[in-house]
Amino acid sequence: MRDALPLVWREIPERYNLIGSTCENCKQEFFPQRLICPNCRRKGNLVPKKMPDEGKIFSFTQVHSGAKGFENETPYTLAIVEMPNGVRVLGHIVDAQPEKIEIGTKVKAVFRRIFAEGEEGIIAYGFKFKVAD
């Protein structure tokens, strides 16, 4: 059993909508949200910002020894996706043949089930990535 239950509920807006932050001072964008800009600190001003929902695979791995809670989908592909605004995000790549996945492949964020918590089936949702057409 995972211990992630509180996280499942608290992080809903960011996880569902890919809302990050942008600093009005240095213009850098961040995901997940930050409260303090690491470039500007007190001079910075972070406001919520919707992240692009497309990007390119920056690195990837096919996980054969899966994390607890992911037994049913193992093996699965994880990638760090780089968005056009320079922000990188880690997530699953879904519905793709492994041979179609390489560094540079274009992907699109989709809303999916991440894992089911225990027998009661509390389901955690969030973003994953799908190879773009």
The interface partner of residue 55, options being another protein, Zn ion, none and the CB cut-off 5 to 8 Å by kind, is: none
Strand partners, 35: none
Nearer to another protein, 49 or 92 (CB): 92
Contact 83, 54 (CB under 8 A): yes
Nearer to another protein, 45 or 61 (CB): 61
Binding-site member from 18, 78, 93, 107 for another protein (CB under 8 A): 78
Q: Kind of pairing, strands 122-131 and 88-94?
A: parallel
Contacts of 69 (CB under 8 A, 6+ apart): 2, 4, 115, 116, 117
70 binds another protein (CB under 8 A): yes
Contact 30, 20 (CB under 8 A): yes
Q: Which residues bind another protein (CB under 8 A)?
A: 2, 4, 7, 11, 30, 32, 58-70, 76, 78-80, 88-92, 103, 114-115, 124, 126
